[in-house]
Amino acid sequence: MAANENHYTLPLPTFDKPVKLLIVVAPHYRDIADQLIAGAKATAADCGAEVEVIEVPGALEVPTAIAMAERQVKFDGYVALGCIIRGETTHYDTVCNDSSRGLSLLGLQGACIGNGILTVENRGQAEVRAEVAGQNKGGGAAAAALHLIALSRRWAGQTKGIGFRA
């Protein structure tokens, strides 16, 4: 089982300038969402990041909300949170694939996103992954976003050696 594995975790980055994170959560399973949010907020606080939390109806709306914020508001990064538990239909596959694809496309366009949308077979798996004292996937998603923000800031404005010289 992966739960019994030891994984290396990068130390959290440090920042010279303030960081503003938007947490976008689909709270369909409220108790699980609350744990994910708590983990993400705690990790953000460890880096001194300012956090805003918004809720959307479902996991499919998370990428859309992030895209809107990326166009209209100034956030340094985003944390996508939610939980998709397999049901009896193929709707599970659609929601998992399309929400993940939407977040990936936004990331490839330059948005700094940590994906903490759980995709699990049952509630027990979700609870273990969401618990702050457990696998803390909300905290992990916030850490991913913070690492990408640090990388983006590190490379910002570095155009030396690119293109042609006059």
Query: Which tokens in the block code for residue 38?
Result: 């708590």
Q: Measure Cα distances from 150 to 35, 154, 161 in Å.
A: 25, 6, 22
Look at the block and give the residue holding tokens 């947490």: 23
d(CA 130, CA 132): 6
- Residue closest to 141 by CA, chosen among 4, 7, 9, 6: 9
Helix runs in the chain, H state only:
30-46, 61-72, 91-108, 123-130, 137-155
**Greatest C-alpha distance within the chain:** 63
Surface-to-core class of residue 78, CB atoms within 10 Å of its CB (0-12 exposed, 13-18 middle, 19+ buried): buried
Which residues are designated catalytic? 91
